[in-house]
Structure 1
Amino acid sequence: MAFPLKQLKWLYQEFGLASLHATGRDAYIIILSRCTRMLAYGTNSLILALFFSALDFSDEYIGLFMTLTLLGDVLLSISLTLVADRVGRRRVLFGGSLLMVFSGAVFALFENFWILLFAAVVGVISATGGDFGPFRAIEESTLSHLTTPKTRADVLAWYITTASIGSAIGTELSGRIIDTLQSREGWTIVDAYHAVFWVYSAMGILNMVLALCLSDKCDAVGNSVEETKRGEEEEILLDEMDERNHEDEDEDSIPPTPVANPAPQAENKKSRFAQISKETRAVMYKLWFLLIVDSLADGMVGYSLTVYYMDQKFHLAKSTLGDITSVSYILSSISTIFAAPLARHLGLINTMVFTHLPSSAAVLCFPFPSSVFFTVALFFLRTGLNNMDQAPRSAFIAAVVKPEERTAVLGITSMLRTLAATAGPFVTGLLAGNDKFWIAFVAAGSLRICYDLGLWGMFINMRLHVHEDEDAIESEASGRRTEGDEEELRDVNSMDEGAK
């Protein structure tokens, strides 16, 4: 029995389950919330373009809708993430989930293009199947806050993995619901599409409940208050010790050593306004440029548009499209499990590039096969490897920016990626209307390859965790780890007894 137990323990450590368990209950809730949200997005990714096509909207209108929806996601994302640390991350997540409920209900009840566009722009609707809203940046910042450099990549990998599982369930569920309802007497294809959007609203309600279950540790504001209170208590202790030392006439008495530097108090207060330092901007400018290129490519050939292209080319049943998309997400979730072990052995940048490059090549070659089999095989290759770079990328950003800047930086990163993706669907819609849909895949694949090569060239020798090396003691002395606090207080008590 010793051998299998040893192997199970190795798997438990190697695939990040130990890191996930060590992070605690909040990590499980955040991961479950992302999974259910991506389930809702998965239902959309299969039917959104088909829904508008069934309403007799032109391809140009479909592309315009997706572009403006992504633009709305940009404005919502940047406005919420920049204030999330100040007003509370849990409140922002709750508010975003409420907007999901609103958007899903509107899509389930209305068919007017402009009403649907309004609901998509001011609410939260996934036009491409991707997580471009305000949620991801806040959740990744929270997970980075709850983890250490050693456990972060593992936890983020499971965060991505379960998201792919949610997307797989959503697309499969969507296809089955549509085929089942359409076969009933009195149900049209449009009625079936409307019913699926109620699933979207239901997942929004579930996300609201999960946001309420998160603890105070997830809020940067709450942590700052706790640290400030703890600092004030320590200052009072030191003042009392100082007074006793002045009254003591013994010149050999040991002077008190400061336990906490009050300077970080100002820094914590400053971080509430999401200030970003010059050092961080110098690194992120290069990364942001590359991510803009990659996101523009993703926007041109998002999953909704890819499914729409296969439907136009091969005229497959909706359940078959759901099966294909669901399997692709399952492959993505399986491959993402290996992202964290690869990152430990190959490094963050190498893992990002070596897994993303084959996916980019699959996008480039996607329109060329004339058979369903080879087209679907390229789609599986694309989606199976597409998400393996996400957890290392988030861990890389967390490793090169200051801890107090992560929410703002991740929010701006999400905003720029979404903004870059807004132009993609409109361009693809124009090409589709002119029977040149295939050009979008060739252009997108080429842009993605440029992103991969640029990422490797610019960041392969980047030094990581510079800021965390400086702030490690302060970080470990926070509310998440009380060991250091107890040791410091023991030192203060011993000094107090010495003074007496």
Structure 2
Amino acid sequence: MPTLLKSVLAAVGLDALQTATWDIHLIFLQRAVRLFAYGASTLILALMFSALGFSDTQIGIFMTLTLLGDVLISLVLTLVADKVGRRRILVAGALLMMASGVVFALSGSFVVLLIAAIVGVISPSGNEIGPFRSVEESIQAQLTPAHLRAEIFAISGLVGSLATALGQISIGWFTRHMQDTAGWSEIATYRATFWLYSVCAAVKLLLTLMMSEVCEVEAPIAEYMPVGTDDDIPLSAKDSPMIEEPPTQITPVEQPGILSKAASLFPSLSKESKNTVVKLALLLGLDSGASGLIPMSLMVYYFSQKFHLPTNTLGIIFFTTSIVASISQLLSASVAKRFGLIRTMFFTHFPSSLMLALIPVPNVYFASTVLVIRFCTGSMDVAPRTALISQLVLNDERTSVMGILNTVRTLTQAIGPWISGGLSERGNLWISFVVAAGLKSVYDFGMLAMFINVGPRDEDVTS
């Protein structure tokens, strides 16, 4: 590879692709397919519910209960992923995603759709939901040297943002085109979107089945040691004369019960990791609670209701924000190399937090511009934050820790849509933007204060 090209790739963090394994590339493809489906469904989710006759409060309640259902599904699946098998968990998640898409394509009942969203995988925010992200990030951390993790996570974020953007603009164009030229009703175009959602889930399932065994957690050496061989005998015992010992009474070993077997599937964390998880959970809870007040589907709904914009225009606006976010995520790895993970997180995310408070200004051009500016740096903390978390815990704890933290984020995010739905029905959705800006600012200063001097802990950080 020419030296100039190498330098360019290194400057933007893409040089890590040269060392990425086949399984990491498969994860990139899965993320692209999944986030395309999320972007497509998010653009029309609230609009579909409005077309079905649901009130703004019902829309908010739906999103809240959907996120709460995801908490339970994600927590259980990610905690047992390393014992049951990471690939099996990804397969289960893809099947749930496929099933929920089919139900949304066929049903118009609020209760049926709610049950499908709670049990299945539907993203109200356009962001990651379900067990996928935690398991995939754990695999990426395991298969990537520590000094390249920020780049790999940044590339993963880039792939996701580009796919989300493509999903948003293509569905925005598709729904408008089919309504204007083919005479389809709004509901028909929205149902077609969820058929596409299920097809994406099926493609993700096939990609998951192509992953290799190296994606599974590294088993302790003791698990590979045969029992009852000479290797179990200390060298001092081999060399010493045979000493006859009185026979000992053998007591039967009590077999573990069902509850004990179930409990053994869940991992235990070291004391240091527990302290880290508590701090991160508190801070990430603030950030996600703020995000829950203004999920992307409600942002789309706000622009639609406030400025009476058609779906193709909405698709262009949010396509632009996702493209900007993808470029910024790619640059975050190179910025983190120069300034460190924590400083990069703070100086990119804090200005974006403040921008939220300006979005409700009643001018479509100003609001759209501020929205795009917010996304310029709003996602630049994602890759450094994931790299930081992966370095603060041990390898066999990563899947569980990331699952716990993603569960906390989803749980704190869940109540927001309910609140914002009620505010929207009263014409006061602007309050959600202002409160979200304040909460995110507190998160930014909290991360800076708690982790600015914390060093990496994982065993291969110098590799």
Q: State the TM-score, normalizing by the size of structure 1.
A: 0.84
CA contact (8 A) 2:353 2:374 kept: yes
Within a 5 Å distance, the mapping from 1:75-474 to structure 2 comes to 75-220=72-217, 223-224=218-219, 227-228=221-222, 273-368=266-361, 370-464=362-456, 466-468=457-459
- Identify if the C-alpha distance between structure 1 residues 379 and 17 changes in structure 2 by more than 3 Å, giving closer, same or farther: same
Once the two structures are superposed, residues 416-458 of structure 1 have per-residue CA deviations (whole angstroms, 9 ceiling, x without a partner) of 0000000100000010111111111000111111111111111
CA-CA distance at 1:399 after TM superposition: 0.8
CA-CA distance at 1:348 after TM superposition: 0.6
Structure 1 stretch displaced more, 359-368 or 379-388: 379-388
CA-CA distance at 1:383 after TM superposition: 2.2
CA contact (8 A) 1:329 1:384 kept: no
In 2, distance between residues paired with 1:111 and 1:236? 67
In 2, distance between residues paired with 1:62 and 1:336? 31
CA-CA distance at 1:237 after TM superposition: 7.0
- Identify if the C-alpha distance between structure 1 residues 149 and 45 changes in structure 2 by more than 3 Å, giving closer, same or farther: same
Once the two structures are superposed, residues 296-353 of structure 1 have per-residue CA deviations (whole angstroms, 9 ceiling, x without a partner) of 1001011111111111111011101001111111111111111111111111111111
CA contact (8 A) 2:30 2:204 kept: yes
Consecutive unaligned residues in structure 2, runs of 5 or more: 242-262
CA contact (8 A) 1:335 1:384 kept: yes
For the residue of structure 1 that corresponds to 2:434, the secondary structure is helix
CA contact (8 A) 1:49 1:308 kept: yes
CA-CA distance at 1:403 after TM superposition: 1.4
In 1, distance between residues paired with 2:239 and 2:331? 58
For the residue of structure 1 that corresponds to 2:427, the secondary structure is coil
CA contact (8 A) 1:271 1:404 kept: no
Q: 1:6 aligns with which of 3, 26, 37?
A: 3
CA contact (8 A) 1:162 1:333 kept: yes
In 2, distance between residues paired with 1:332 and 1:122? 30
In 2, distance between residues paired with 1:467 and 1:158? 22
CA-CA distance at 1:388 after TM superposition: 1.1
RMSD: 2.2
CA-CA distance at 1:365 after TM superposition: 1.2
Within a 5 Å distance, the mapping from 1:26-105 to structure 2 comes to 26-105=23-102
In 2, distance between residues paired with 1:213 and 1:21? 20
Question: 1:387 corresponds to which letter in structure 2?
Answer: S
CA contact (8 A) 2:122 2:129 kept: no
CA-CA distance at 1:241 after TM superposition: 8.6
CA-CA distance at 1:245 after TM superposition: 7.6
Runs of 4+ in 1 over 6 A off after TM superposition: 235-247
- Identify if the C-alpha distance between structure 1 residues 10 and 272 changes in structure 2 by more than 3 Å, giving closer, same or farther: farther
CA contact (8 A) 1:297 1:448 kept: yes
CA-CA distance at 1:14 after TM superposition: 3.4
CA contact (8 A) 2:44 2:297 kept: yes
CA contact (8 A) 2:121 2:129 kept: no
CA-CA distance at 1:47 after TM superposition: 0.6
Question: 2:459 corresponds to which letter in structure 1?
Answer: E
Question: 1:52 corresponds to which letter in structure 2?
Answer: F
For the residue of structure 2 that corresponds to 1:151, the secondary structure is helix
- Identify if the C-alpha distance between structure 1 residues 238 and 23 changes in structure 2 by more than 3 Å, giving closer, same or farther: farther
Q: Where does residue 259 of structure 2 map in the other structure?
A: none
CA contact (8 A) 1:20 1:27 kept: no
- Identify if the C-alpha distance between structure 1 residues 240 and 290 changes in structure 2 by more than 3 Å, giving closer, same or farther: closer
In 2, distance between residues paired with 1:313 and 1:372? 9
CA contact (8 A) 1:274 1:407 kept: no
For the residue of structure 1 that corresponds to 2:32, the secondary structure is helix
CA contact (8 A) 1:20 1:151 kept: no
For the residue of structure 2 that corresponds to 1:405, the secondary structure is helix
In 2, distance between residues paired with 1:324 and 1:132? 23
CA-CA distance at 1:242 after TM superposition: 8.2
Question: 2:153 corresponds to which letter in structure 1?
Answer: L
- Identify if the C-alpha distance between structure 1 residues 332 and 271 changes in structure 2 by more than 3 Å, giving closer, same or farther: farther
Consecutive unaligned residues in structure 1, runs of 5 or more: 248-269, 477-500
- Identify if the C-alpha distance between structure 1 residues 21 and 5 changes in structure 2 by more than 3 Å, giving closer, same or farther: closer
Q: State the TM-score, normalizing by the size of structure 2.
A: 0.91
CA-CA distance at 1:231 after TM superposition: 5.1
In 1, distance between residues paired with 2:304 and 2:234? 76
